[in-house]
Structure 1
Amino acid sequence: MSESLRTLAHMSEATKAFEPRDGETPIRGNVRARGHDRVSHGLFLPDSEDDDPVHRWHRELHAWLQVLPESAVFTHLTAVRLYGWDQPKLPEQIPVWVAVNVHDRRPRREGLICSRLTREPGKNVRQGFPVEDPEEVLLRVARDLGVLDLVILIDSALRKDDVDLRRLAVILKSGRPGVRVLAAAYELSHAKRESAMESVLGVFHAAMDIPVEPQVELFDDSGNLIGRGDFLVTGTNYVHEYDGGVHRDKKEHRKDLRRERGWSDTPYRRKGFSLDDLLNHPVVVMHEMDRALGRHHVESRIRRWRTLVRESLYDEVGRRRIVNRWRRAMGVVQWV
């Protein structure tokens, strides 16, 4: 997509600028009175009757802009959320990430990770806030998160057509920090996956050396469309799908039952997998898939998958390691 078309595609979203309501203007300085919430040292927000979490988050970002230089843009996972990309399982409390011009001061405050811009960013605005270029955002995230986490972001960014593949190719050849993880995740990514959990299931298939086609339309023997499957195992009639909590909802469950009845007279065979299956019982899932495909088990496949999980936010040790890295990056202690 050309730059002009990309701008037009996002124009409506970019113009939805956040504006604080009456009485919501952030306050710089120390406030001891009741009715104020602390964002960080010397930065407060008046209490608001609106408890919408998105509006609250927007208010906090707006407050941060009051203590940042004009060149500041949001980046890393803060920009990921502003772009509206799917995200992996994140800790409940995470910092705010910004990047500033190399000549500007770099604020150090509790809850803020500030880094330098290596080049002049584009004029990207999402939900009314300045954000770094998508390709640079992915590279910054790749310096912290694992391949499995990053595939989720890339799949979503590609699906939304936010990524300029030419600029991404330049970054992948640059040798900059994070490129190795970004390149590995990009190789495993696919724009047709429609959710974070589909991305996880897709990576599991790749680790198991099982080629699949995502979001494939399925037809009966008469050529009638009977539905669409998350993944069709290439060269077979096996349809593998993610079964999450939404599928246990009564309405969704009835829909799934009707869908399965529609498949009953077709050669397709559906298998559903949950996140618990993939994270806590991967050997069982591998054996099921291997038996269905009539092949031998290969231990290196399960080791490959466990390494991907261990380095991701889906592993408890991996989460602690990443959170500790963010704490060190902030470089400040709790202000009193």
Structure 2
Amino acid sequence: MADPDPVSDAPVVTTAVAIRGCPRRVAYQSVTRGIHRRRLDGGDSGASWLADLAGWQLLLTQHGCFTGLTAARVRGWGLPPVPEAMPVFVAMQLDDPRPMRDGIRTSRHPEPVPHQVIGGLRCATAAETILACARWLSLVDLVVVVDSALQAEDVTLEELRRVCRPRRRGRTALLAALGWADGRAESTWETLLRLLHVVVGAEVAPQFEVRDEGGDLVARVDLHLVGTTSDHEYDGGHHREPDEHRDDLRRERRLSSLGRVRRGYTASDVVRRPIGVLRDVDLALGRAHDPGRIRPWIVMLRESLYTPSGRAAFLRRVGTTSVTGGK
């Protein structure tokens, strides 16, 4: 399943007007019962999703806002592969009328959730958004979201700790995730590759600068295995493009000339064949290969959105009904 496309800064929210009622016009399409929005030209799924949110927003009070994975996607953060059936996440006050619709997940709070307006959509602040995600996501998925938000400089670790006040739902999970987070990751798969290394007991330095004897920068590698001359990186599909592949080979030769070993891994290596990554880690660290070290990673993956079982469990957790959230 592909990662959801980031949709922040899309202008469609201001042009795709959403209205209440059932207009008898082909220019409109239904969002949910009693809510319609203008049809869009083209097949941009991100723009259509934003336009739908403009419709959902009509069901909220002035203090209500989007939160959780919905607000995270509006902000353009890198996300784990969320299921298409995921509901829209919103936050409202306890006394607000609850939207009685399928496809919406309402958390209710004693006080208004702080929010910002992004492209015409009211979204919970970055820290509140991540705390809401923590209620539903596994550890791996939550670290992916936190890393992306830190990389975007939308939030700080201190802001995340501050929002974890006693009795707030998601607090325990978020505090646990902060111990694994590192905002230097430049993609979701870099985060997963780093987590895999940490779980199997390898100390790594993300975005490590390799310099020659004269101090000139040779390369900045995704992960350096501390205490070794080995560098491990995530290779996405774009690395197979001719120009990119040529540059990668030239870069690899320069690293090799310095006595360094560069190994590249794909998404399949991280999720489906992690034992191969472990074997390379053991080799680099000069320790005996122990396949048992991979078991904790397999358990973590099974709970995450990167596996069918994890996605099914997520959908069972979120459902579509309203819940009351502690402040």
RMSD: 2.3
For 1:293 and 1:324, the matched residues in 2 are separated by 41
Which stretches in structure 1 are left out of the alignment for 5+ residues? Answer: 1-12, 332-336
Match of 2:153 in 1: 161
3-state SS of 2:206 partner: strand
- Count how many residue pairs are aligned between Structure 1 and Structure 2: 316
Does 2:238 align with 1:243? no
Structure 1 residue 299: Cα displacement: 5.1
3-state SS of 2:77 partner: coil
Match of 1:187 in 2: 179
Structure 2 counterparts to residues 212-231 of structure 1, below 5 A = 212-231=204-223
Match of 1:57 in 2: 49
Structure 1 residue 138: Cα displacement: 1.2
Structure 2 counterparts to residues 272-287 of structure 1, below 5 A = 272-287=264-279
Structure 1 residue 118: Cα displacement: 4.4
* TM-score, scaled to structure 2: 0.88
Match of 1:265 among 240, 257, 262: 257
Alignment deviations for residues 239-270 of structure 1 (CA, whole Å, 9 cap, x no partner): 10001212122222122112112223112110
Match of 2:124 among 113, 128, 132: 132
Structure 2 counterparts to residues 97-116 of structure 1, below 5 A = 97-116=89-108
* TM-score, scaled to structure 1: 0.86
3-state SS of 1:270 partner: strand
Structure 1 residue 330: Cα displacement: 6.3
Indicate how the Cα distance of structure 1 residues 115 and 237 shifts in structure 2: closer, same or farther if over 3 A, else same: same
Partners of 1:109 and 1:330 within 8 A in 2:
no
Indicate how the Cα distance of structure 1 residues 175 and 304 shifts in structure 2: closer, same or farther if over 3 A, else same: farther
Q: Which moved more, 1:104-113 or 1:165-174?
A: 165-174
Which stretches in structure 2 are left out of the alignment for 5+ residues? Answer: 1-7
Structure 1 residue 46: Cα displacement: 3.2
Tell me the amino acid that sits aligned with residue 242 of structure 2: K
Q: Percent of pairs identical after alignment? A: 36
Structure 1 residue 283: Cα displacement: 1.8
Structure 2 counterparts to residues 78-89 of structure 1, below 5 A = 78-89=70-81
3-state SS of 2:153 partner: coil
For 1:145 and 1:190, the matched residues in 2 are separated by 18
3-state SS of 1:90 partner: coil
Indicate how the Cα distance of structure 1 residues 175 and 251 shifts in structure 2: closer, same or farther if over 3 A, else same: farther
3-state SS of 2:312 partner: helix
Q: Which moved more, 1:32-41 or 1:189-198?
A: 32-41
For 1:91 and 1:249, the matched residues in 2 are separated by 29
Indicate how the Cα distance of structure 1 residues 264 and 17 shifts in structure 2: closer, same or farther if over 3 A, else same: closer
Indicate how the Cα distance of structure 1 residues 236 and 140 shifts in structure 2: closer, same or farther if over 3 A, else same: same
For 2:241 and 2:218, the matched residues in 1 are separated by 22
